[in-house]
Amino acid sequence: MLDLFEMLGTPEPSTEIMADGAVLLRGAALPFEADLLSALTEITEQAPFRHMVTPGGFVMSVAMTNCGTAGWVTDRTGYRYDRNDPRSGRPWPVMPDCFFALAVTTAARAGYPDFRPDACLINRYEPGARLSLHQDRNERDFANPIVSVSLGLPATFQFGGLERTDPVRRYALRHGDVAVWGGPSRLFYHGVPELRDGVHGTVGRMRLNLTFRGAL
Ligand code: MD3
Ligand code: FE
């Protein structure tokens, strides 16, 4: 059907319901790719990617940094949100306007018009890196959704249920995809199996994932 978006040459990105409350907006970040990547470079100059240690003593294969009022960190003492980067002792870099605007507009399109993220965790996967099945439950208010933006190499995303042993569905997350997880899906188990080797045209030999949270 020819609608206003097609007439303007800006097709409405497709939306897919993954579960009750979970919406996948294919390609929604593509118009902002250059802005997002240059803002990311400025962030990592102030707060470089690092491999954090889990409370159990394992070094994570995914490298992480943050921007915003608070950042997610893990060390031998546990998982938490911290206003300061423990590596520098200074506040995390300010969340760039293009990050905040993308998170707010995509959350609204997915049915969460009041979402205002205060934290953005940035994950960097190199080939072989993985994130085992987990829940995100360090945030104060689970009424807030989480918005995730995928850039670079494609990944398989595993999405289960409220119990670790629930069956998982698999989705391919590609460059520019935005997913919003809220409502009943907010505490669903999820993970990313080992990233396959490859080279992305603009991002290179890695996958980057931004997750926007209402942490504090
Ligand atoms: C579903 N990151 O940072 S993004 C994480 O691709 C995380 O880097 C993965 O899991 C990544 O915690 C997955 C998609 C995602 C993020 C948070 C969720 C899915 C979620 C929270 C609840 C349910
Ligand atoms: Fe997660």
pLDDT tens, residue by residue, 4-43: 555 565 555 688 999 999 999 999 999 999 999 999 999 9
**CB of 190 shorter than 6 A to ligand 1:** yes
- Mean pLDDT for 136-143 is 97
Nearest to 129 by CA among 79, 211, 26, 58: 58
Q: Could you tell me if 64 and 124 are in contact, meaning their C-beta atoms sit under 8 angstroms apart?
A: yes
* Ligand 1 atom closest to the CA of 189, numbered from 1: 23
Q: Which of 16, 134, 136 to mutate to test the pocket of ligand 1 (most atoms within 8 A of CB)?
A: 136
* Ligand 1 atom closest to the CA of 185, numbered from 1: 23
Contacts of 172 (CB under 8 A, 6+ apart): 154, 155, 156, 157
CATH class of the domain at 4-10+25-47+66-213: mainly beta
Nearest ligand to residue 211 Cα: 1
Nearest to 125 by CA among 64, 201, 38: 64
Nearest ligand to residue 147 Cα: 1
Tokens of 174: 């590609």
Nearest to 127 by CA among 88, 150, 158, 154: 154
- Compute φ and ψ for 64, nearest 5 degrees: -135, 155
Instruction: Please tell me the predicted confidence (pLDDT) of residue 9.
Output: 55
105-138 pLDDT tens trace: 999 999 999 999 999 999 999 999 999 999 999 9
User: What one-character DSSP code corresponds to residue 196?
Assistant: P
Q: Which of 164, 190, 212 to mutate to test the pocket of ligand 1 (most atoms within 8 A of CB)?
A: 190
User: What one-character DSSP code corresponds to residue 32?
Assistant: G
How close is the Cα of 136 to the center of ligand 2, in Å?
A: 5
| 3-state SS assignment for residue 45 | helix
**Is residue 1's pLDDT more than 90?**
no
Q: Could you tell me if 71 and 79 are in contact, meaning their C-beta atoms sit under 8 angstroms apart?
A: no
Predicted TM-score (pTM) of the model is 0.94
**CB of 65 shorter than 6 A to ligand 1:** no
46-98 pLDDT tens trace: 999 999 999 999 999 999 999 999 999 999 999 999 999 999 999 999 999 99
Tokens of 108: 């609204």
How close is the Cα of 32 to the center of ligand 2, in Å?
A: 23
Tokens of 71: 């950042």
Residue nearest atom 17 of ligand 1, based on CA coordinates: 146
Tokens of 35: 């802005």
d(CA 196, CA 206): 9
